[in-house]
């Protein structure tokens, strides 16, 4: 059970603390309890107390790192529902591959690589199935390792697993092949090569017992595979594992999960997409699919970004000029706010119009147009300041500035502050921009 502030106080020294300035360190203890400061900031903490408190205050779900050059974090979750606080480590997507279909699938995967709101959207991991031929598997692993993506080695044969790890261990893959009948061999391999070990179980009881056995051997660098027998079983196990860790504070199940929707609905990409969307929320850390094309990725990655964004911190785009439809210095300027939803709505309609235009995104604190105007973050002063400080007058010769119709009240003040500019009021709704821009 997580310690409270007073519990931490009992284990902190009574000497003067440089971090909090409180002779009793009470303020520091309360900050630790609230998660505002880490324990290692206290210079007076003994090693034993630090170890005890670190264990007690750690998230109920352990944070696992996979990959080397492209390191990703899994787990570390503290809540069941995003609105309670926030989800921490975003779900990763993976594609199941074999030696026979690797080249074909990799060509499709390469097409999924784009940026959305300053986040790269791509297939982060490749799941490689061992089919009984060790030499062929090693060659598959070599080919997959050359892509730079993190690998998941679906291999329950210790001999083949060792051969595969010898060519890719430096890239920190997941050795996904520990079962009740090969615990010792797989645990030793994972420890020797320093990689995360994926654990299987015929049911939750067997999975739990296998994890206990691995922990007894000192291995707590694990990821758990939920059932692939059916969508119902997978959902039930994923939820029970997360609930046991977070609500039951059972750290035996406090590890991330792999959900193989490719095995649950083989060949049915529509069902796999639906299941993947469900397990982004409930509670897949890695979701394995048959394929991933741009069309399949777009809705899933957009949903994932929404789910794994702090609900108290709105998504924003970088404040700057975005040239659209081949715009240059002679194209007019459209001003709006940095709220991501506003950006996507406005930019989509402007692109649909086909008219070259410079979309100017100002820093409005991530609020919508009316909200930021009411808060004083989107005003004639802020727009003028943005234009002056970012050299927009020097970069753009056109002196037409188009502002959102909902803040038409800013027109007069902008004309005073920017006398050389023609201030134009756009329609109230983004959907009207196509007709408006063509007529302009």
Indicate the pLDDT class of residue 3, thresholds 50, 70 and 90. very low
What's the mean per-residue pLDDT of the chain? 89
Mean pLDDT value of segment 2-30: 51
The conformation of residue 368, written as its DSSP 8-state character, comes to -
Q: When comparing pLDDT for 86 and 18, which is higher? A: 86
- Residue 310, φ and ψ in degrees, nearest 5: -55, 120
Query: What is the value of pTM for the model shown?
Result: 0.78
> Taking a C-beta distance cutoff of 8 angstroms, is the pair 251, 245 a contact?
yes
Indicate the pLDDT class of residue 2, thresholds 50, 70 and 90. very low
Terminal-residue alpha carbon distance, the chain: 64
The residues facing 360 across adjacent strands are 321, 335
- Residue 203, φ and ψ in degrees, nearest 5: -155, 180
Indicate the pLDDT class of residue 242, thresholds 50, 70 and 90. very high
| pLDDT recorded at residue 33 | 62
pLDDT at 385 exceeding the cut of 80:
yes
pLDDT at 178 exceeding the cut of 90:
yes
pLDDT at 187 exceeding the cut of 70:
yes
The residues facing 116 across adjacent strands are 119
Pairing of the two strands 63-66 and 72-75: antiparallel
| pLDDT recorded at residue 9 | 45
pLDDT at 387 exceeding the cut of 80:
yes
pLDDT at 436 exceeding the cut of 70:
yes
Least confident of 270-274, 306-310, 419-423: 306-310
Question: Among residues of the chain, what percentage have pLDDT more than 70?
Answer: 88
| pLDDT recorded at residue 328 | 93
Mean pLDDT value of segment 169-177: 96
| pLDDT recorded at residue 115 | 87
CA–CA separation, 255 vs 324, rounded Å? Answer: 45
Contacts 24+ apart (CB under 8 A), 298-301: 299/273, 300/93, 300/273, 300/276, 301/93, 301/116, 301/121
Mean pLDDT value of segment 296-319: 88
- At residue 65, the 3 state secondary structure works out as strand
| pLDDT recorded at residue 32 | 66
| pLDDT, tens only, 50-83 | 666 666 667 889 999 999 988 999 999 999 998 8
pLDDT at 192 exceeding the cut of 70:
yes
| pLDDT recorded at residue 36 | 62
pLDDT at 216 exceeding the cut of 60:
yes
Question: Among residues of the chain, what percentage have pLDDT more than 90?
Answer: 77
Mean pLDDT value of segment 339-352: 92
Nearest by Cα to 331 from 388, 401, 390, 389: 401
| pLDDT recorded at residue 422 | 95
pLDDT at 227 exceeding the cut of 90:
yes
pLDDT at 305 exceeding the cut of 70:
yes
């Amino acid at each position: 059970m997580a310690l409270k502030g007073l519990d931490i106080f009992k284990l902190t020294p009574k000497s003067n603390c440089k971090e909090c300035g409180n002779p009793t360190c009470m303020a520091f203890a309360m900050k630790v309890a609230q998660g505002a400061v880490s324990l290692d900031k206290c210079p007076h903490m003994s090693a034993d107390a630090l170890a005890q408190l670190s264990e007690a205050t750690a998230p109920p779900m352990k944070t696992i790192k996979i990959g080397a050059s492209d390191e990703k974090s899994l787990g570390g979750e503290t809540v069941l529902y995003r609105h309670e606080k926030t989800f921490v480590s975003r779900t990763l997507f993976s594609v199941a591959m074999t030696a026979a279909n690797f080249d074909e699938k990799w060509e499709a995967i390469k097409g999924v690589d784009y940026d959305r709101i300053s986040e790269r959207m791509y297939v982060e991991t490749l799941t490689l199935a061992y089919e009984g031929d060790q030499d062929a598997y090693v060659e598959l692993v070599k080919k997959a390792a050359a892509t730079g993506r993190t690998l998941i080695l679906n291999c329950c044969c210790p001999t083949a697993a060792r051969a595969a790890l010898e060519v890719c261990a430096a890239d920190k893959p997941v050795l996904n092949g520990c079962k009740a009948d090969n615990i010792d061999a797989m645990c030793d391999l994972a420890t020797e090569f320093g990689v995360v070990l994926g654990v299987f179980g015929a049911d939750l009881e067997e999975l739990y017992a296998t994890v206990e056995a691995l922990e007894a051997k000192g291995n707590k660098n694990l990821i758990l595979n939920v059932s692939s027998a059916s969508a119902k079983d997978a959902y039930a196990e994923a939820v029970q594992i997360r609930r046991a860790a977070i609500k039951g504070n059972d750290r035996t199940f406090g590890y991330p999960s792999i959900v193989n929707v490719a095995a649950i609905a083989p060949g049915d990409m529509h069902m796999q997409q639906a299941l993947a969307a469900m397990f982004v929320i409930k509670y897949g850390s890695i979701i394995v699919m048959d394929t991933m094309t741009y069309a399949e990725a777009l809705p899933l990655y957009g949903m994932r970004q929404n789910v794994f964004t702090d609900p108290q911190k709105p998504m924003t785009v970088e404040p700057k000029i975005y040239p659209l439809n081949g715009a240059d210095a002679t194209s007019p300027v459209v001003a709006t706010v940095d709220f991501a939803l506003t950006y996507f709505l406005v930019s989509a309609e402007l692109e649909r119009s086909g008219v070259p235009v410079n979309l100017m995104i100002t820093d409005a604190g991530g609020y919508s147009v009316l909200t930021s105007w009411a808060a004083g973050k989107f005003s004639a002063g802020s727009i003028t300041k943005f234009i002056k400080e970012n050299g927009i007058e020097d970069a753009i010769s056109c002196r037409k500035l188009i502002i959102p119709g909902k803040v038409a009240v800013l027109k007069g003040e902008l004309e005073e502050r920017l006398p050389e500019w023609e201030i134009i009021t756009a329609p109230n709704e983004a959907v009207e921009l196509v007709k408006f821009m063509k007529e302009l």
